[in-house]
Amino acid sequence: MIFSNLAEKLQDTFDKLRGKGKLNEKDVKAALKEVKMALLEADVNYKVVKKFINKIEERAVGKEVMESLTPGQHVIKIVNEEMQELMGGSKEEIAISSEPPTIIMMAGLQGSGKTTSAGKLARKFAKDGKKPLLVAGDVYRPAAIRQLQVLGERLEIPVFSMGDDSDPVDIARGSINYAASHNCDLIILDTAGRLHIDQEMMAELEEVKAAVEPDEILLVVDAMTGQDAVNVAKNFDQRLDINGVILTKMDGDARGGAALSIKAITGKPIKFAGTGEKLADLEEFHPDRMASRILGMGDVLSLIEKAEKSIDKEKAAALEEKLRKNEFTLEDFMEQMDQVRNMGPMDELLGMIPGIGEAKQLKNLQVDDKQLDHIEAIISSMTPGERRDPEVINGSRRKRIALGSGTSIQDVNRLLKQFKQTKKMMKQLNSGKMKKGGFKLPF
Ligand code: GDP
C-alpha cells in the first residue's frame, strides 16, 4: 500500500502520544525524534527532514499545545498541516490554454512510465470532455511508438506519428497542424527519454520546448527510485523549467521519500500520481489528502470520488430497488462486486477509510483480491437459473460448480450460506426489524 511503512511507524508514535494525558517538552521531543527516524528511513531527503522537524518543534513545544486538553491530538494536527505544506499545500491544476490547442509536453527517463502516463492523461482529459491527441515523439526507445498507438486504439484517441527516424522537433511541430485538422484541442507530446540524464536528451527536449512553447511540461519520475527521482527532477527542472511532476509507481512505493521531498527540493509540485499499470490508475495529487493517508486519518474524499467515477448510477438505483423488494440475486451480487473492484485494489481502498490504519486488529489485514476471484469464479460456474434461485443448488450441482470454478465444495457452501444470511438480513432490514450493528457484507 502507498506509504504503508512510513504510515505504520508514524501511527505507532502518535498512538503513544495520544495515550498520554499531559505532555511535556521531553515527550514531544521524543516523539519528534521518532518521526525524524521514520522519515529518514522512508528515504526523505535529509535537509528536508531537518527543516520539517524544526518547524514542527517550534510550533509544538509551546504553551498552547502543552496546556491544551488533548495535547497529543494537537501535535498530530501540527504534523498533518506541515506535511501537507511540505507536499505543496493545495492541489495544483494543469494550465489549459484559452487558445486551443493546449500543449502538454511529457519528459522523463526511460522506464519511468512516461508513455503509460501519456495514455492515462489522455484518458482523463477525454473523460473531462476534451479532445486529446497523443503524439509519438519517443523516437529513441524501441517499441515506444507502437506502445502509444496501442494505447490510442484502446482509448479511441488519435495518435500522431512520423515513424522513428524523424526529428523530434519536426514531429512536435507537425502535431500542431494535425491537431487543427482533426479538431483536437489538447496535445500530449510523448518525448524520448534515456536511461540516465544525458546531454543529448536535454538538448533535444530544449529544442522541442522552444519549437512548440508548451503550456505545461510534466516530468514523469518513478517513485520507487526514491532520492534518485528527486535528483532527476532537480536536473530536468534546471534545464527545462518544468511545471510539475507525475510521480508513477506509487502503488509499489511503501516508503514515500520521493513524494515527500520533490516539492521541497525543486519547488515544483507533484500534479498526478500513478497508482498502477492500468490506464485508470492515475490520481490527482492532493497534498492534504496524502498527508491524511500517511497519518492514518483516511482519505474519504478520494474514496468518494473513486466510487462516483466507477459506480454506474443507474445500476445502483436498480440494485436499491431489488434490495428493497428482496429480489437481490447472486447475479446482482457479482455485478456489484465487479463495480467495487473497478475502484482499485482492496487494500488501497481500505487505507482510505479513517481509523483502519489505527485499528490494531486490522493492521495486518490482507484483503486478498484472490478471495474475490474465487467468489467470482464460483458464481460464473453457476447456470443463470442457479444464480437467480440458489435454493435449487443440490449436492451434485455443488460438486459441479466447485469443479468448474477450481474451488472446493466447502468454498461453494460458504458462499451460498453467506448469501442466504445476507438475504435474510436484507429482509429484516426492509421490515424494520434490523437490530443496530447487525449488518455484514457477505465476504
Ligand atoms: P517509459 O519508458 O517512460 O515510456 O515507460 P513506460 O510507460 O513504458 O512504463 C514502464 C513500465 O512501468 C511499464 O511496465 C508500465 O506498465 C509500468 N508503469 C507505469 N506507470 C506505472 C504505475 O503507476 N504503477 C505501476 N505499478 N507500474 C507502472
Residue 431 has pLDDT above 70, yes or no: no
Contact criterion met (CB below 8 Å) for 275 and 344: yes
DSSP assignments along 310-329, one per residue? HS-HHHHHHHHHHHHTT---
**pLDDT value for 303:** 66
Question: In this structure, are residues 169 and 208 in contact, taking their beta carbons and an 8 Å threshold?
Answer: yes
On the question of pLDDT at 346 being above 90, the answer is no
Q: Quick one: pLDDT at residue 443?
A: 38
State the architecture of 102-297 in CATH terms: 3-Layer(aba) Sandwich (3.40)
Please write the tens of the pLDDT for every residue from 376-387: 899 999 998 999
Instruction: Give the lowest-confidence range in 228-242, 335-349, 374-388.
Output: 335-349
Which of 277, 278, 282, 284 to mutate for ligand 1's pocket (most ligand atoms within 8 Å of CB)? Answer: 277
Whether 49 shows a pLDDT value over 90: the answer reads yes
Work out which ligand 1 atom sits closest to the CA atom of 252: 26
Annotated binding residue 438:
no
CB atoms within 10 A of CB 323: 16
d(CA 145, CA 251): 26
Q: What is the whole-number distance in angstroms between the Cα of residue 280 and the centre of ligand 1?
A: 13
- The whole model's pTM is what? 0.74
Instruction: Identify which of 86, 88, 120, 84 has the alpha carbon closest to the alpha carbon of residue 104.
Output: 120
Residue 439 pLDDT level (bands cut at 50, 70, 90): very low
Residues forming beta bridges with residue 270, ordered by sequence position: 245
One-letter amino acid for residue 143 of the chain: A
Q: Quick check: 62 pLDDT over 50?
A: yes
CA of 113 to the centre of ligand 1 (A): 4
Confidence class of residue 366 from pLDDT cuts 50, 70 and 90? Answer: low
pLDDT at 8: 85
160-164, 299-303, 335-339, 364-368, range with the lowest pLDDT: 364-368
* The pairing of beta strand 216-222 with beta strand 102-108: parallel
Ligand 1 atom with the smallest distance to the CA of 190 is 4
Q: pLDDT value at position 352?
A: 67
Residue of higher predicted confidence among 44 and 314? 44
Q: Are strands 270-274 and 282-284 parallel, antiparallel or unpaired?
A: antiparallel
Q: What architecture (CATH level 2) is domain 304-430?
A: Orthogonal Bundle (1.10)
- Element (DSSP H or E) covering residue 122: helix 114-127
Confidence of residue 207 (pLDDT cuts 50, 70, 90): very high
Q: Distance, CA 249 to ligand 1 centroid (Å)?
A: 7
Which of 58-72, 80-94, 190-204, 368-382 is the least confident region? 58-72
Q: Which of 26-35, 74-83, 163-172, 367-376 is predicted with the least confidence, judged by mean pLDDT?
A: 367-376
Cβ(298)–Cβ(362) below 8 Å: no
Give the alpha-carbon dihedral of 346, 352, 358, 364, to 10 degrees: 20
Consult the annotation and say whether 29 binds a ligand: no
Residue 239's identity, in one-letter code, is R
CA-atom Rg of the chain in angstroms? 26
Q: Which three cell numbers stand for residue 188?
A: 500530449
- Select the more confidently predicted residue: 319 or 440: 319
% of the chain beyond a pLDDT of 90: 52
Confidence of residue 204 (pLDDT cuts 50, 70, 90): very high
What is the 3-class SS of 374-431, one letter each residue?
Answer: HHHHHHHCCCHHHHHCHHHCCHHHHHHHHHHHCCCHHHHHHHHHHHHHHHHHHHHHHC
**What CA–CA distances, in Å, run from 129 to 121, 185, 278?**
13, 10, 21
Expressed in angstroms and rounded, the spacing between residue 118 Cα and the centre of ligand 1 is: 10
The domain over range 4-86 is classified in CATH as 1.20.120.140: yes
Q: 101: cis peptide before it, omega within 30°?
A: yes
Mean pLDDT value across the chain:
86
Q: How confident is the model at residue 437, as a pLDDT?
A: 41
Is 194 annotated to bind a ligand? Reply is yes
Q: Is the peptide bond before 442 cis (omega within 30 degrees of 0)?
A: no
- What is the tens place of the pLDDT at every residue in 242-272? 999 999 999 888 788 999 999 999 999 999 9
* pLDDT value at residue 329: 84
Domain ranges (residues) in the chain: 4-86, 102-297, 304-430
Q: Which residues contact 194 (CB under 8 A, 6 or more apart)?
A: 109, 110, 140, 200, 201
User: CA-CA distance, 327 to 121, in Å (whole number)?
Assistant: 40
Residue 389 Cα to ligand 1 middle (Å): 44
Q: Over range 174-200, report the average pLDDT.
A: 94
3-state SS record for 124-188 = HHHHCCCCEEEEEECCCCCCHHHHHHHHHHHHCCCEECCCCCCCHHHHHHHHHHHHHHCCCCEEE
In this predicted complex, what is the ipTM?
0.99
Band of pLDDT at residue 36, cut at 50, 70 and 90:
very high
DSSP code for 101: P
Residue with cell 476534451: 130
Cβ pair 279, 304 in contact under 8 A: no
Res 19 pLDDT > 80: no
Whether the per-residue pLDDT at 434 is higher than 50: the answer is no
- Check pLDDT > 70 for residue 436: no
Ligand 1 binding site (Cβ under 6 Å of any ligand atom): 108, 110-116, 141, 144, 193, 248-249, 251-252, 274-277, 281
Lowest mean pLDDT among 185-199, 258-272, 316-330: 316-330
Residue 404 near residue 381 (C-beta atoms within 8 A): yes
